[in-house]
Amino acid sequence: MSKNYIVGFPRIGEQRELKKALESFWAKKIPFDEVEKVASKLKKRHWLYQKDAGIEHISSNDFSLYDNMLDTSIMLGAIPQRFKQLEGEELYFAMARGDKNSVAMEMTKWFNTNYHYIVPELSPEDNYIANSKKIVQEFNEAKDIGIKTKINLIGPITYLGLSKRTDGGDTYEFLSKILPIYEQIIKEISLLDNDIVIQIDEPIFVKDLEPKVLSLIKPTYDKLANVSLHVKIVVSTYFENSNEATKILVNTPIWALGLDFVHGEENLKSLEIIEKSGKKLIAGVVDGRNIWKNDINKTILLLEDIAKSIKKDDIIIGSSCSLLHTPFSLKYETKMDNEIKEWLSYTVEKLDEISLISKLFFDGLDSLEDKDKIALKNNKEANLSRRTSTKIHDKEVQNRVKNLEKIQRDGDFKERIKLQREILKYKDLATTTIGSFPQTDEIRKARREYKNRLISKDEYEKAMKDYIDECVSFQDEIGLEVLVHGEPERNDMVEYFGEQLKGYGFSQNGWVQSYGSRCVKPPFIYGDISRPKPMTVDWITYAQSKTQKIMKGMLTGSVTILNWSFVRDDMPRDEVSKQIAIAINNEVDDLQKAGIKIIQVDEAAFKEGYPLRNSKIPSYEKWAVENFKLCVSSAKEQTQIHTHMCYSEFNDIIKTIEAMDADVITIETARSGNELLKIFKKVGYKQEVGPGVYDIHSPRVPSVEEIVKQIELLLVVLPKEQLWINPDCGLKTRKWEEVKPSLKNMVEAVKIVRERLK
């Protein structure tokens, strides 16, 4: 029996074919037909992968040329006014990316993933109309190759919950407008076949919903599940438990509930009521968010546990969420260490796991064919090897975590800052930057050639040092006060450290879609983490040797490193992060011993790791603060610790930020004037703050007057003694032609303000 299920499948293609086609089309190198041809080919290939693996429930409408939320806006006819004169692909990509007349729609992260969706813009004037073209077309494409798919839709409550209204009103007020469109779509789908499954994704049900929103669930699903007798509705949630919604959904006529038992273990509490309702349960037991081989023995135990409450007949085995969040196939990982590769499982390998688990669970060991028996044996061996391999387990590292003594630095902020200002002698409104300078083609080329052994270590180092020389002398010349080396040796703020830490792995082809055609290749933590040798000291001390001014050392904090990696699942996250924090801590110490007086520990992704459930926030915050403090606990009182975060909205987390106890924090407020800074004043924040005075995300060069004005706005909220002046993020994505005049203007503006303050 193959009662199994895939929530959704990645679409970018195993060789990123879709990315390449889209980008060629956008560059006007190929016509749209070509993109469609590639898309068709990929869809077919992806369906066949699933079919061949023995998957019963395969989706259509999980494909997208850009994003499924955007597709849903098209399905509903929710087109913002400024795009209304467009149609077809022109309309679609203009909404996603903007065009010469109109700015793109906003994009933001999909729950706690690194996938970004296009935020629907709804206006009270809109009249919605159903458009089922894409849905019908994909269903028929699959049918043509003999596969009857289930059809994936994003549910109305999630859609509205993630939308914004042009007039600032409550998006849920539009439910009565869009629900008839959903009914219409379901009706049209029901005509496609006598018996059809529709998966309606409602991941918003895993959040803490207000009673008002919860009250929408029953009427919505009473309606949608009653549209047609030919249609079976699955409501699918993921990334957390959805217990409150489950309680309501069991009293609606839906056919099945899809729940995540990997990231929402608490869903187990809902089994009894699901059983009573007689609904099917799609049990998400294979992790769609990570790259580790499933431990099939353990999964079977979990399923047996579930089967104590729910009849086996009513269980379907699935992925925990769409496989969109995992890379495609291990077959292209030709350079990876074989032992490590044995521990991994990407999308295609997960299909086999799900298939095997379902055979084993429903039919038992004896009924397995030989090839399945071998697969099962391999799975056992891989999991065993992970438990014992010396590549993973390092007693010394584990002991270091166990015997942690110094978990925070000496002295409180007031004493520290006095000492620091005596030694560092910077003025009020001290100027600095966030770390990186433009990544030019030359430095990218040098890094690439060194990696591919086309140039020698000496040649590479010379190229980097030349660039550092340039950065340092430029900063010196224009009169910046705290300098940086410019980060030419870093491709990425996490990868750079990952590459130097033991226990970190890198893939060749582990691409995961981030947004549109853009993919990222997160590194992965497979073993105990240690730092074989200093990672940044040579570069920073070299840069310091080139100037009399203070050179700021530049590191990435453990919370960000963890949030941007695939993390091992055989050890508590907290322990993994402590291992990383110790490595960073040692680096801080080596830097200060080498004479570096200011060290910045970036926590760009601090806020991204926030849990989906409010009840879990305090423990996340506690964990994150402890980690940051551990990273810098080796800093002497006179060593000044900076941190940088890519956010401007601190209202909810200001106390946590304060508790991190950094001497200086630089943040991203440039686009919001001083509005968002008021919270710092309100809570009586003591530490120093560098609110970005201009936006680096745009190529525009800010004028001196503009920056003066911005600084004066900041001074309304915080006293000059507490303020630093800097751009709002690193400059690596900008060009020198933009960076040079911008920073000059910034320094000039500070001079003017200081003069006025005299």
Shortest distance, CB of residue 484 to ligand GLN, whole angstroms?
8
> In this chain, which of 646, 665, 667, 750 binds ligand GLN, going by CB under 6 A?
646
Shortest distance, CB of residue 575 to ligand GLN, whole angstroms?
26
Is residue 697 among the annotated active site residues?
A: yes
The partner in contact with residue 120, picked from Zn ion, ligand GLN, none with C-beta cut-offs of 5 to 8 angstroms by kind, is none
Shortest distance, CB of residue 159 to ligand GLN, whole angstroms?
30
CA nearest neighbour of 429 among 742, 659, 708, 660: 708
CA nearest neighbour of 151 among 161, 138, 163: 138
CA nearest neighbour of 408 among 688, 620, 660, 664: 660
- How many Cα atoms occupy the beta-carbon half-sphere of 370 within 13 Å? 0
Cβ partners under 8 Å of residue 562, min gap 6? 525, 573, 576, 577, 580, 609
Residue 130: both structure tokens together? 């159903």
Shortest distance, CB of residue 610 to ligand GLN, whole angstroms?
17
Pattern 354-373, Zn ion, x by CB under 5 A: --------------------
**How deeply is 726 buried, as exposed, middle or buried, from its count of CB atoms within 10 A (0-12, 13-18, 19+)?**
buried
Residue 729 near ligand GLN by CB under 6 A:
yes
> Beta partners for 117?
108
At 612 the three-state DSSP class reads: coil
Residues 318 and 260: their CA atoms lie apart, in Å, by 9
- 614-621, Cβ contacts within 8 angstroms, sequence gap of 24 or more: 614/208, 615/208, 621/653, 621/656, 621/659
Q: How many residues bind ligand GLN (CB under 6 A)?
A: 13
At 708 the three-state DSSP class reads: helix
> In this chain, which of 55, 540, 664, 729 binds Zn ion, going by CB under 5 A?
729
For ligand GLN, which is the closer residue by CB, 324 or 646?
Answer: 646
503: left (phi over 0), alpha (psi -120 to 50) or beta: left
574-603: which residues touch ligand GLN (CB under 6 A)? Answer: 602
For ligand GLN, which is the closer residue by CB, 175 or 664?
Answer: 664
For ligand GLN, which is the closer residue by CB, 59 or 556?
Answer: 556
Name the catalytic one among 46, 393, 642, 697. Answer: 697
H or E, element range at 134: helix 133-144
- How many Cα atoms occupy the beta-carbon half-sphere of 186 within 13 Å? 28
For Zn ion, which is the closer residue by CB, 375 or 729?
Answer: 729
For ligand GLN, which is the closer residue by CB, 503 or 730?
Answer: 730
The partner in contact with residue 732, picked from ligand GLN, Zn ion, none with C-beta cut-offs of 5 to 8 angstroms by kind, is ligand GLN
φ and ψ of 234, to 5 deg: -105, 130
Residue 732 near ligand GLN by CB under 6 A:
yes
Pattern 106-145, ligand GLN, x by CB under 6 A: ----------------------------------------
Residue 434 near ligand GLN by CB under 6 A:
yes
The partner in contact with residue 375, picked from Zn ion, ligand GLN, none with C-beta cut-offs of 5 to 8 angstroms by kind, is none
Q: Rounded to the nearest 10 degrees, what angle do helices 457-478 and 736-757 cross at?
A: 30
For Zn ion, which is the closer residue by CB, 435 or 505?
Answer: 435
For ligand GLN, which is the closer residue by CB, 482 or 612?
Answer: 482
- How many Cα atoms occupy the beta-carbon half-sphere of 699 within 13 Å? 3
> In this chain, which of 435, 516, 609, 691 binds ligand GLN, going by CB under 6 A?
435
Residue 665 near Zn ion by CB under 5 A:
no
> Beta partners for 259?
283
CA nearest neighbour of 681 among 646, 632, 733, 716: 716
Pattern 629-648, Zn ion, x by CB under 5 A: -----------------x--
According to the 3-state scheme, what is the secondary structure of 556-570? ECHHHHHHCCECCCC
Shortest distance, CB of residue 555 to Zn ion, whole angstroms?
14
Transcribe 228-290 into DSSP letters. Answer: -TTEEEEEE--SS--HHHHHHHTTSS-SEEEEESSS-GGGGGGHHHHHHHT-EEEEEEE-SS-
> In this chain, which of 58, 224, 480, 604 binds ligand GLN, going by CB under 6 A?
604
For ligand GLN, which is the closer residue by CB, 155 or 435?
Answer: 435
Specify the stretch interacting with Zn ion by CB under 5 A; choose among 258-266, 419-427, 582-590, 726-734. 726-734
Residues 743 and 727: their CA atoms lie apart, in Å, by 8
Shortest distance, CB of residue 554 to ligand GLN, whole angstroms?
5
Query: Torsion angle of alpha carbons 710, 713, 714, 720, nearest 10°?
Result: 100
Specify the stretch interacting with ligand GLN by CB under 6 A; choose among 70-78, 169-177, 432-440, 611-619. 432-440
CA nearest neighbour of 122 among 188, 199, 181, 63: 181
For Zn ion, which is the closer residue by CB, 482 or 729?
Answer: 729
The partner in contact with residue 257, picked from Zn ion, ligand GLN, none with C-beta cut-offs of 5 to 8 angstroms by kind, is none
Specify the stretch interacting with ligand GLN by CB under 6 A; choose among 18-26, 50-58, 357-365, 433-441. 433-441
The partner in contact with residue 602, picked from ligand GLN, Zn ion, none with C-beta cut-offs of 5 to 8 angstroms by kind, is ligand GLN
Shortest distance, CB of residue 224 to ligand GLN, whole angstroms?
42
Transcribe 400-440 into DSSP letters. Answer: HHHT----S-SS-HHHHHHHHHHHH-PPTTEE---SB----
Residue number, nearest CB to ligand GLN: 730
Specify the stretch interacting with Zn ion by CB under 5 A; choose among 196-204, 436-444, 552-560, 724-732. 724-732
The single residue listed with the structure tokens 């209304």 is 84
> In this chain, which of 342, 358, 730, 745 binds ligand GLN, going by CB under 6 A?
730
The partner in contact with residue 96, picked from Zn ion, ligand GLN, none with C-beta cut-offs of 5 to 8 angstroms by kind, is none
For Zn ion, which is the closer residue by CB, 135 or 434?
Answer: 434
483-542: which residues touch ligand GLN (CB under 6 A)? Answer: 487, 493
Residue 554 near ligand GLN by CB under 6 A:
yes
Residue 436 near ligand GLN by CB under 6 A:
yes
At 208 the three-state DSSP class reads: coil
Residue 480 near ligand GLN by CB under 6 A:
no
Residues 489 and 446: their CA atoms lie apart, in Å, by 9
Query: Annotated active-site positions, please?
Result: 697
Interface positions with Zn ion (CB under 5 A): 646, 729
Contacts to ligand GLN by CB under 6 A: 434-436, 487, 493, 554, 602, 604, 644, 646, 729-730, 732
